[in-house]
Amino acid sequence: GLAVAEMGRVTQQNAALVEESAAAAAALEEQASRLTEAVAVFRIQQQQQHQRETSAVVKTVTPAAPRKMAVADSGENWETF
C-alpha cells in the first residue's frame, strides 16, 4: 500500500530529475560548443604568444646573498631571577 505508493512517487520524481538533467546537459553542451567557436581566435593568438615566449632568451636569477643582522644588546633588559 503506502510503501508501494511512496516508491512510485519517488520513481516519478527521479525520472523527472533525470529528464531535467539531460536537458540541462544538452543545453550546456550547446553553449560549450558556441563558446569554443567564439574563443578559437584567441587560442591561435595564445599559441603564437607562447611560441614567442619560448624562443626568447631565458633570464637567469641569482639569489641574493643572506645578510647578517646586527643585534644591539646593552644588557639592560635582563632581569635577575
Is residue 72 domain-resident?
no
Is residue 38 domain-resident?
yes
Is residue 50 domain-resident?
yes
The helix, strand and coil proportions of the chain, stated in percent and rounded to the nearest 5, come to: 65, 0, 35
Is residue 68 domain-resident?
no
Domain count within the chain: 1
pLDDT in tens, the chain (81 residues): 999 999 999 999 999 999 999 999 999 999 999 999 988 887 566 567 667 776 665 555 666 666 666 555 555 666 665
Is residue 77 domain-resident?
no
Is residue 70 domain-resident?
no
> Residue 40's domain spans which residues?
1-56
Is residue 28 domain-resident?
yes
| pTM for this prediction | 0.46
- What is the Cα–Cα distance from 21 to 24, expressed in whole angstroms? 5
Is residue 73 domain-resident?
no
